[in-house]
Amino acid sequence: MGKTDKKDYSEYAVVMEKIVKRFPGVLANDHVDLFVKKGEIHAIVGENGAGKTTLMNQLYGLLNSDSGKIYINGEEVKIKNPNDAIKAKIGMVHQHFMLVDRLSVVENIVLGMEPVYGPFFARDKARKQISELSQKFGLFVEPDAIIEDLPVGIQQRVEIIKVLYRGAEILILDEPTAVLTPQETDELFKILGALKAQGKTIIFITHKLHEVMAITDSVTVMQLGKVTGVVKTSDTNPRALARMMVGREVLLRVEKGEAKIGKKILRVENLHVNENRGLEAVKGLDFSVNQGEIVGIAGVAGNGQTELIEAITGLRKVEEGQVIFKGIDATNFSPKRRRDMGMGHIPEDRLKHGLVAAFPLYYNFILGKHDDPRFCDGEFLKISDIKKFSNALVKRFDVRPPLINLLGANLSGGNQQKVIVAREFSFNPDFMAISQPTRGLDIGAIEFIHKSIISMRDQGVGVLLVSMELEEIFSLSDRILVMYEGQIMGEVTPQETTTEEVGLMMAGHKLEDLRAQEA
Amino acid sequence: MNGLKKFYMNDKIVVPVFAVITSLFIAAIVMIMIGKNPLMAYGALIFGAFGTKGALINNLMKTTPLILTGLSVGLGFRAGLFNIGANGQLIIGALLSTYVGSKMIAYPFYLSIPLMLVTGMIGGALWAAIAGWLKVARGAHEVITTIMLNYIAVFIANYVVNGPFQAPGGVPKSPEIAYSARLPILATSGATWLSAGIFVALAAVVVVYILVEKTKLGYEVKAVGFNPYAAEYGGISIGKNVVMAMAISGALAGLAGTMQVMGVYYRYLGALGGSMGFDGITIALIGQNDPIGIAFAAFLISSIRAGSNQMQIAGVSKNIVIIIQGIIIFLVAANRLVKTFMFWKRKEVEGA
Ligand SMILES: Nc1ncnc2c1ncn2[C@@H]1O[C@H](COP(=O)(O)OP(=O)(O)OP(=O)(O)O)[C@@H](O)[C@H]1O
Ligand SMILES: [Mg+2]
């Protein structure tokens, strides 16, 4: 090896060279090259399962490459585990949070690097350091809250503070905005801007192309384990990026016809529900959903939407009021009974409720209907029928890789979501409670799922849709209810309202007050 | 697809096999350090476990209840439950079945044998279900409640065989069961014999395998064990499955005790359970909670124990066996360590 071979990568914070990573049956990274300049915000985009997370996990030492090299600030480094990565000042916020549910915010953030007085944990010191950090970057969190009591949006903030606490100079954010509201996303972008201004380098994975356009400097596009394009953000546009990612034209907006409204299928009366800590989260809601319509619930995360959906689907106790399903008072029915009556549910947290990660896909595909005669004969599971059914779903919903023996945990985030959506759709429900259906999905998959939701509606299914994505609410809903602090601020239709008006309601203004002001 | 299969094999077979080989190796080093010849010691161990007909009979006889307690604990683990109460369940099962067996004098074997089997299982099941119910209704952790139930079972048994259900002669043991309730003897050698209990244990392996892998109940129990939130979301009752899993786990432990009665002692004795309930934990760990793995693990543990006496005679302390067992458990429990180690090895091989 002559000296001339030595490459000069000194202008790059991160270079990954010819990275190969193979999983059983899948080539997740096929000679991937990634170049990230110092101080820039670099986007990685690509379809679900393209290998983005896998690539970043190698940079962070969670996975070891089969081959390839990594250079940090021009120097070749070997990153065998996250400790090596932290030493190289790399921090990562994962697509699925890696927090200890039972510990408090402070404990999670300092975990492994606790400030101490001699042998004792210096809780007050930790708390002070953290409140300084959160003030500096505008990331407010309640330091003593227990993680499992916090909504996903807040857990995300904890993750970001955790990385900053470890002194990261290079931040990897794997789909950070998938769980944030538009407002929170704006906040995050401000923070990222501030971090960039301080010279930090940021690698940002997202499926939302407008975000790529808004804050990044350059983009690497991946498809099926390979890099298919590297462009400067200023030289491209969402349409072109979409084409590079999917290899075809994508509809960025769904088309839908008039709703054919049928009978009332779900009615909620004076509903009161508590959150985990026993505080009231849903404060006396009244509304109904009819067959053949999509009712969207807009709101900032943590305003009672999670509790509302859990109460409707039977996962959470109703304190007061009623859930009437198909004319029957189902308030105290078990989740099973509601399912058997024709209620489907796409849950907000796919790894907590939606999947058994340690089950193979074919088991996950029947979760909730495992005792249906299609899948079991008396006490015995019809394994070969279940596999046939699963294979059909994998094909129809384009789950990648299409291997039904794979464990749920081994799918990429977007493909896990496809499994859940596929399952719930396949059960032919009459009513469907849907929470964040496209969180973490690529644009092609979003298009597919939006079309599927609309076709369900057209077949007469009543849909209750909770989403933090205003765009999703606007493009799918026939009616929109806006929730704020457990109450409904107003009901509007997408035609007669504006995002501004809904945004104001989400911030706690009642519709009647807004309309009165206008008049 | 092929790769996938290999991956599965890695976890379930390679880890325990690796653990056993490593532990034998480490124990050999210990023996060298204390000035003993490991080859000779292992020779004696193997001879003691399989060398003679008597040794093999003794070994298989001891394997029988260990398979059952291993299955008991392993099934609990599958449901996310840590059943430390196999000992108590075994005692209650043995006691109840002995009582029924002692009343069977006038019955033919085709009634008395099944009746004893069933009462033994019901006894263990009910005893364990108490812990399951306490967990569901009161949130009491099964580790605590099963340990407490173990004590209660021991005291009940001591009282019963010293009083209302004592054999004549003032010794703390129960009367004998009916001849018709004794299991057929497959082979004898000197004072030891092997009963058909080994077939009962092997049948239990098959039944548990089918239960876990092929039935609705197995599906539900595993879902609750892996992710109770998702199970609840999927309409699976956590409470029902916790109680069920505990009951089945207890039934297997009760069956272990019943095998000791029907195949070995023909009556209830305080010592009949020994430490089998706790051995079940070891065996379930080594067998990776897999029914077939558990059968092998039970045979392994029984073999090294059976062989240890011969080792002692050959002049090497039988406590070496405890070292071996400890290292196996450590390596299996710390399976990440083993997997990481093997992963490096593989990479080196591929890289070369
Ligand atoms: N531990 C694993 N075992 C087996 N296969 C895996 C494992 N982790 C990832 N894969 C596979 O590797 C491929 C790449 O997955 P990865 O999670 O990197 O995708 P991604 O680009 O992050 O997708 P998404 O946008 O859905 O998060 C997928 O096909 C996935 O199923
Ligand atoms: Mg990913």
What percent of chain B lies above the pLDDT cut of 70? 92
Q: Summarize the confidence of residues A52-63 as an average pLDDT.
A: 95
Same domain, B93 and B133: yes
Quickly state the pLDDT bin for B186 (edges 50, 70, 90). Answer: very high
Same domain, A237 and A317: no
pLDDT at B314 over 90: no
Choosing from A97, A411, A417, A421 the residue with most ligand 1 atoms within 8 A of its CB, the one to mutate for a pocket test is A411
- Residue B103 covered by a domain: yes
Q: What is the pLDDT of residue A6?
A: 61
Same domain, A196 and A59: yes
Same domain, A181 and A241: yes
Same domain, A381 and A492: yes
A355-384 residue pLDDT tens = 999 999 999 999 999 999 999 999 999 999
- Residue B320 covered by a domain: yes
- Residue A356 covered by a domain: yes
Distance A414 CA to ligand 2 centre (A): 7
Same domain, B290 and B321: no
Same domain, A214 and A284: no
Same domain, A97 and A235: yes
More confident call, A150 vs A326? A326
Quickly state the pLDDT bin for B347 (edges 50, 70, 90). Answer: very low
Q: What is the pLDDT of residue A258?
A: 87
In angstroms, the CA B335 to CA A157 distance is 33
Query: Which of A185, A212, A246 is the C-terminal boundary of a domain?
Result: A246
3-state secondary structure B64-93: HHHHHHHHHHHHHHHCCCCCCCHHHHHHHH
For residues A361 and A409, the answer to whether their CB atoms sit within 8 Å is no
Q: What is the pLDDT of residue B348?
A: 42
- Residue A41 covered by a domain: yes
- Residue B42 covered by a domain: no
Q: Which amino acid belongs to residue A232?
A: K
Quickly state the pLDDT bin for A1 (edges 50, 70, 90). Answer: very low
In angstroms, the CA A142 to CA A497 distance is 35
In angstroms, the CA B19 to CA A61 distance is 27
Same domain, B140 and B83: yes
Q: Summarize the confidence of residues A314-330 as an average pLDDT.
A: 95
- Residue B233 covered by a domain: yes
Same domain, A176 and A293: no
Interface test with B, best of A26, A349, A356, A366 (most B CBs within 10 A): A356
Same domain, A172 and A317: no
What CATH code is carried by the domain that includes residue A141?
3.40.50.300
Q: Pick from B1, B222, B232: which is nearest to A335 by CB? A: B232
Same domain, B102 and B243: yes
Q: What is the pLDDT of residue A197?
A: 87
Please give the residue of chain A at the shortest CA–CA distance from B234: A368
User: For B196, which DSSP code?
Assistant: T
Same domain, A273 and A339: yes
A204-238 residue pLDDT tens = 999 988 899 999 999 999 999 999 999 999 999 98
Q: Summarize the confidence of residues A61-73 as an average pLDDT.
A: 94
Same domain, B126 and B203: yes
pLDDT at B265 over 60: yes
Whether A383 and chain B come into contact, CB under 8 Å, resolves to yes
Q: Summarize the confidence of residues A245-272 as an average pLDDT.
A: 86
pLDDT at B336 over 70: no
* Phi (first) and psi of residue B193, to 5 degrees: -145, 160
Q: Summarize the confidence of residues A34-62 as an average pLDDT.
A: 94
For residues A201 and A39, the answer to whether their CB atoms sit within 8 Å is yes
In angstroms, the CA A81 to CA A68 distance is 16
Same domain, B262 and B288: yes
Strand segments (E) across A241-379: 264-274, 280-290, 294-298, 318-325, 328-329, 343-346, 376-377
Same domain, A200 and A297: no
Query: Which of A246, A281, A316 is the C-terminal boundary of a domain?
Result: A246
User: Structural domain tally of chain B?
Assistant: 2
In angstroms, the CA A484 to CA A509 distance is 9
What are A479's two structure tokens? 């009616």
Quickly state the pLDDT bin for A3 (edges 50, 70, 90). Answer: very low
- Residue nearest to ligand 1 atom 27, measured at CA: A413
Half-sphere exposure of A402 (CA within 13 A, CB side): 11
Give me the residue label for tokens 């970043």.
A56
- Residue A416 covered by a domain: yes
pLDDT at A478 over 80: yes
Same domain, B253 and B323: no
More confident call, B283 vs A198? B283
Same domain, B30 and B73: no
List, in sequence order, the alpha helices (H) in A216-282. 238-246
Q: What is the pLDDT of residue A12?
A: 95
A316 contacts in chain B (CB < 8 Å): none
Query: Which of A211, A246, A281 is the C-terminal boundary of a domain?
Result: A246
A53 lines ligand 1 (CB under 6 A): yes
- Residue B48 covered by a domain: no
User: Structural domain tally of chain A?
Assistant: 2
- Across the interface, whether the CB atoms of A403 and B4 are under 8 A apart is answered yes
- Residue A174 covered by a domain: yes
Same domain, B5 and B87: no
Close Cβ partners of A314 (under 8 Å, ≥ 6 residues apart): A330, A333, A334, A335, A337, A338
A412-432 residue pLDDT tens = 888 999 999 999 999 999 999
A444 lines ligand 1 (CB under 6 A): no
Compute the mean pLDDT over every residue in chain B, rounded to the nearest whole number.
90
- Residue A256 covered by a domain: no
- Residue B329 covered by a domain: yes
A406 contacts in chain B (CB < 8 Å): 4
pLDDT at A161 over 90: no
Q: What is the pLDDT of residue A198?
A: 83
Same domain, B105 and B159: yes
Task: Give the range among A337-351, A442-456, A470-484, B96-110 with minimum mean pLDDT.
Answer: A442-456
For residues B205 and B67, the answer to whether their CB atoms sit within 8 Å is yes
Please give the residue of chain B at the shortest CA–CA distance from A423: B234
pLDDT at B335 over 80: no
Same domain, B211 and B108: yes
Domain range spanning residue B339?
A: 1-36+316-352
Whether A494 and chain B come into contact, CB under 8 Å, resolves to no
Q: Pick from A25, A353, A370: which is nearest to B1 by CB? A: A25
Quickly state the pLDDT bin for A516 (edges 50, 70, 90). Answer: confident
- Residue A179 covered by a domain: yes
Give me the residue label for tokens 């369940």.
B89
Query: Which of B278, B295, B310 is the C-terminal boundary of a domain?
Result: B310
Full-model pTM: 0.82
Q: What is the pLDDT of residue A120?
A: 83
B171-182 residue pLDDT tens = 888 999 999 999
- Residue A259 covered by a domain: no
A357 contacts in chain B (CB < 8 Å): 226-227
- Across the interface, whether the CB atoms of B227 and A358 are under 8 A apart is answered yes
- Residue B56 covered by a domain: no
By CB atoms closer than 10 A (0-12, 13-18, 19+), residue B322 is: middle
In angstroms, the CA B148 to CA B155 distance is 11
Task: Give the range among A111-120, A486-495, B96-105 with minimum mean pLDDT.
Answer: A111-120
Quickly state the pLDDT bin for B11 (edges 50, 70, 90). Answer: low
- Residue nearest to ligand 1 atom 22, measured at CA: A53
In angstroms, the CA B178 to CA B264 distance is 13
Q: What is the pLDDT of residue B340?
A: 64
A71-82 residue pLDDT tens = 999 999 999 999
Give the β-pairing of A90-93 and A75-77.
unpaired
Exposed e or buried b for every residue in A328-337, given b needs 16+ CB within 10 A?
eebbebebbe
Same domain, B206 and B298: yes
A400 lines ligand 1 (CB under 6 A): yes
Same domain, A237 and A302: no
Q: What is the pLDDT of residue B343?
A: 56
pLDDT at B195 over 80: yes
Same domain, A164 and A229: yes
Domain range spanning residue A307?
A: 264-518
Q: Summarize the confidence of residues B86-109 as an average pLDDT.
A: 94
Give the β-pairing of A294-298 and A479-484.
parallel
A28 lines ligand 1 (CB under 6 A): yes
Q: In what order do the strands lie in the sheet with A280-290?
A: A280-290, A264-274, A318-325, A328-329
What percent of chain A lies above the pLDDT cut of 70? 98
- Across the interface, whether the CB atoms of A359 and B223 are under 8 A apart is answered yes
pLDDT at B342 over 80: no
Quickly state the pLDDT bin for A5 (edges 50, 70, 90). Answer: low
B199-233 residue pLDDT tens = 999 999 999 999 999 999 999 999 999 999 999 99
pLDDT at A4 over 50: no
- Residue B58 covered by a domain: no
